[in-house]
Amino acid sequence: MRVAVGADHGGFPLKGEILVVLREAGHEPLDLGAHAYNAADDYPDFASAVAQAVAGGQADRGILICGSGVGASVAANKFHGIRAGLCHDTYSAHQGVEHDDMNVLCLGARIIGSALARELVEAFLSARFSGEERHQRRLNRVLSFENAP
């Protein structure tokens, strides 16, 4: 699976670890920055890059990392076709895909450690949307919001 990954300064150290996890699992990471630590960078820039890569089909899924994960989630969800979820537990990381077709995982590097981050990424990437009627019905409702005035 091709996975777009982005992080601001708050998530920069954890991003390096996530890239290793992805490669070890046989995935193809698309590193969209930051490529160097910069305390003055801004999470919306990386959220935009990852969201556009996923929405545009250059990546199958995305992972965003900032200090809390909240800003990255808010910013990514502004893009058409993006369903980003902030997850700090493995149940949410897989259930968000299975029930809600989540396509971007957001992590708070100041909230979780690298061991939990690894588990979250593995749960997120191994999950598949169920396609069950109730989940599809709910997803269709959510998707309709994108076209609402």
Catalytic center residues: 66, 99
Q: Is residue 81 a contact partner of residue 108, using CB atoms and an 8 Å limit?
A: no
Amino acid identity of 116? L
Tokens at residue 62, please?
Answer: 């995305």
Peptide bond into 51 cis (omega under 30): no
Burial of 3 (0-12, 13-18, 19+ CB in 10 A): buried
> Beta strand 2-7 with 84-86: parallel, antiparallel or unpaired?
unpaired
| Residue closest to 34 by CA, chosen among 13, 52, 20 | 13
